[in-house]
Structure 1
Amino acid sequence: MENPLAMLRVLVAEDEYFIAQDITNSLALLGATVVGPVSSGNKALRAIAELDIDAAVLDLNLEGTIDFAVADELTRRNLPFVFATGYDPAVIPSFRQDRPVREAVRHRRIGAAPS
């Protein structure tokens, strides 16, 4: 079976260590090269600016703050991403709701998210 994320560099922005490791391991099993994980919005923005990435998995709450600057930058660069979070999708403003939302506990489905 072909790995669905083979050859893709995927940024992981998640500040909870064990969740970040679990997502990272799952992405690697799907064939992705993981960038990060990074634990803050500033680190994610720096990675986007400085590193060659193809997609991203974002937690909504990084270091206690819900901030959409990373999602906005990925959108501006036309890079696909999913939100991996335990928050209700209603937390996401309507103009950002076109992105898939995956609960962190069900992250193994991230590879099946539409781009």
Structure 2
Amino acid sequence: MTLRILVVEDEMTISLLVEDMLTELGHEVVDLAMRLKQAEEMAATFDIDLAILDVNLDGHKSFPVADILAARGIPFVFATGYGAAGIDPGYQQWPVITKPFLIDDLRRAVELLAPPPAAA
């Protein structure tokens, strides 16, 4: 199943690497957001199946983006160099992949969050 995914990451090199990994896994990256305001707008309006959220966006936490996605019922995974310790307590139910991560780590996180296939 091809998923439409939003990548929120402030480091261009990392965002392009994540985009390449997701494409290799057969998914479509809808867009890349590098700043909090841009990410909030995309999270509120884009037609996506899930999102990958860097926790720290140029010194700002991405938790407001997580709130928007959660309110819309869109799952997400946090990506951070701090691991689960970098996640505020109110968000610890969401999966975390620790940077640097491998494509297998990303695949497992996406599979965990992927919506179930529609019944035929």
Give the Cα–Cα distance (whole angstroms) in 1 for the partners of residues 101 and 94 of structure 2. 16
Structure 1: runs of 5 or more not aligned: 1-5
Per the TM alignment, residue 89 of structure 1 is displaced from its structure 2 partner at its CA by 1.5
State yes or no: 1:103 paired with 2:107: no
Choose from 8, 15, 24 the match for 1:20: 15
Report the CA distance between 1:107 and its aligned residue.
4.4
Runs of 4+ in 1 over 4 A off after TM superposition: none
Gaps of 5+ in 2: 114-120
1:8-87 mapped onto 2 (5 Å cutoff): 8-87=3-82
Q: For residues 105 and 35 of structure 1, what CA distance do their matches in structure 2 show?
A: 22
* Cα deviation, residue 95, structure 1: 2.0
Q: What is the aligned counterpart of 2:85 among 84, 90, 103?
A: 90
Q: How far 1:65 moved relative to its partner?
A: 1.4
Cα RMSD (Å)? 1.3
* Cα distance in 2 for residues equivalent to 1:19 and 1:69: 21
Number of corresponding residues:
110
Following superposition, the deviation at residue 40 of structure 1 comes to: 1.1
CA contact (8 A) 2:80 2:96 kept: yes
Change (3 A) 1:90 1:107: same
Per the normalisation by structure 2, the TM-score is 0.84
What secondary structure sits across from 1:106 in the alignment?
coil
The answer to whether the 8 Å contact 1:23/1:107 transfers is no
